[in-house]
Structure 1
């Protein structure tokens, strides 16, 4: 063998070792990997996160499974992840700190799960997050006022068709980049605590393309507010001033005995129940 060939052999071996592996070689069992940085495990009947996800994954699709939880250190392990789809699983809660400050996540879909509340610190000030989907969680009834604290890049927030009866305005007003928020289809309660949220909605109506009511009618602001249940209480009324909206505003007041409809309302009474002494 000539000296030249002997000299080339180690280089050829090194080059062969450095050849990138195909996406299929790194792909978790039962998942698809259309490119080296995408893992698609949607609709695979998974009851937990796959164990062999490549550490350099950027798009992870896990929709339509039965996954009940996300480990708190999940995004620490997958620091390159920018797109995470977990809709339509069995998530009942998100551990505080799951999204770290160093996370690069841009898109997160947690819709159509079994979430019951969004406590403070859930998203850990993930400053890169731009779109957050939390809609269609039928048991989601509480969102902490500081639940989205630190999400300075968040532009789209979806909270539609949950079980929210009230929402602190601070949860929305502290999002400086917010451009779109979906709140329709929640059982909003009409009381004095709703006043500050209503005022914010009037000032930012352009951010609510579907208003607060889940209906096919094309209106900008359509509120569906449910009066508090009747009890042995003394009823007092309060009034709230709001700027006249550019388009028609419609308010539906529903109760067990009657339903009234009022169009073009800019000042209206709101009831709050106070227990009798």
Structure 2
């Protein structure tokens, strides 16, 4: 009768191992890679060379640290179920894009750290559900522009860092809803001016970092900023005197109307077609218009073609394959153990 007993024990062991593998344990105490603190509801997965977010992060987690890994992309459902999370740290990864809706379930989030990544753009509405956010770090990325209204829902934001990106311009009204903002950093971008009225609604601003940007003090577009900075300097706003003109080294707040007399037009994301070309095309017959080659990528954009949101990287594929192989092996061994038990029970 020892045969069925041994088989039953083997079945229990294999079943336990299979369940553990299927759950993908997160914390070290469960055989995972992260450190969990039950008292503070904190999960620390920093510096683990992760290429994918660990599965089964406890749903009551308050603070999730994923900094210093090798995350290059996130699945759209990466943080679903973590509606009690207040602090998410993704600092120092390799993120190039963010899928739309990836933060939509983080309705309690207070701090979001996305600095030191490789983000080149932000999807429209990416922060719309983060209505309790007070700090947003986007510095040290590759952002060239910001979507219209990207911060409109962040009415409780007090700290916003956009320094060390490649911003060439700001959308009109981009800061209009940030009436609680106290610190704003735009350092080390490629800004030549700001839209008229850009800072008018920053009624609680205490510190504003604007250096070094190539501020163009020869164009009258700079006059709004110069007058606003001069007024705020008298009110004691910190950092206003750090903005210097690209040429001459003069402080922007000291620029006069005589010095900034030119009407300047800066290149935008779209390129205007010269009127001479439009006139020529309008007066020509269809047969006379030369056929212009269209690059394949431009043709795809014209048709509305888009790349998939998330393609797994090679390490993620290997992790998935190894996981499936382990799962299949567990199922095979479990089935064998069950047959073994049945065989001995019949003999008994």
Alpha carbons 1:101, 1:124 under 8 Å: kept:
no
Runs of 5+ in structure 1 lacking a partner? 1-22, 215-222, 228-235
Q: Give the match's secondary structure for 2:88.
A: strand
Alpha carbons 2:152, 2:176 under 8 Å: kept:
no
Partner deviation per Cα, 1:80-127 (whole Å, 9 max, x = no partner): 111100011011111122222761111100001010112321113321
TM-score of the two chains, using structure 2 as the length reference: 0.58
Matched, 1:118 2:122: yes
Question: Is the alpha carbon distance of 1:63 and 1:101 closer, same or farther for their aligned partners in structure 2, counting shifts above 3 Å?
Answer: closer
Give the aligned CA root-mean-square deviation in angstroms. Answer: 3.0
- Between structures 1 and 2, the one with greater helix share: 2
Partner deviation per Cα, 1:116-157 (whole Å, 9 max, x = no partner): 1123211133211111111110x2111112112212222211
Residue of structure 1 in register with 2:265 after alignment? 272
Question: Is the alpha carbon distance of 1:176 and 1:145 closer, same or farther for their aligned partners in structure 2, counting shifts above 3 Å?
Answer: same
Give distance in 2, aligned partners of 1:140 and 1:174.
21
Runs of 5+ in structure 2 lacking a partner? 1-26, 235-239, 276-348
**Map 1:102-251 → 2, pairs under 5 A:** 103-137=107-141, 139-190=142-193, 194-196=194-196, 199-201=197-199, 204=202, 207=205, 209-214=207-212, 224-225=214-215, 238=220, 240-241=223-224, 242-243=227-228, 244-245=230-231, 246=233, 249=241
TM-score of the two chains, using structure 1 as the length reference: 0.71
**Map 1:60-71 → 2, pairs under 5 A:** 60-71=64-75
Question: Is the alpha carbon distance of 1:105 and 1:237 closer, same or farther for their aligned partners in structure 2, counting shifts above 3 Å?
Answer: closer
- Higher radius of gyration, 1 or 2: 2
Q: Give the match's secondary structure for 1:118.
A: coil
Matched, 1:46 2:54: no
**Map 1:65-104 → 2, pairs under 5 A:** 65-100=69-104, 103-104=107-108
Quote how far apart the aligned CAs of 1:266 are.
4.6
Quote how far apart the aligned CAs of 1:265 are.
2.1
- Between structures 1 and 2, the one with greater strand share: 1
Question: Is the alpha carbon distance of 1:95 and 1:266 closer, same or farther for their aligned partners in structure 2, counting shifts above 3 Å?
Answer: farther
Give distance in 2, aligned partners of 1:67 and 1:153.
29
Question: Is the alpha carbon distance of 1:212 and 1:250 closer, same or farther for their aligned partners in structure 2, counting shifts above 3 Å?
Answer: closer
Alpha carbons 2:179, 2:203 under 8 Å: kept:
no
Relative contact order higher in (CA < 8 Å, ≥ 6 apart) = 2
Alpha carbons 2:99, 2:123 under 8 Å: kept:
no
Size of the aligned set, in residue pairs, is 228
Give distance in 1, aligned partners of 2:72 and 2:185.
25
Question: Is the alpha carbon distance of 1:53 and 1:187 closer, same or farther for their aligned partners in structure 2, counting shifts above 3 Å?
Answer: same
Alpha carbons 2:176, 2:201 under 8 Å: kept:
no
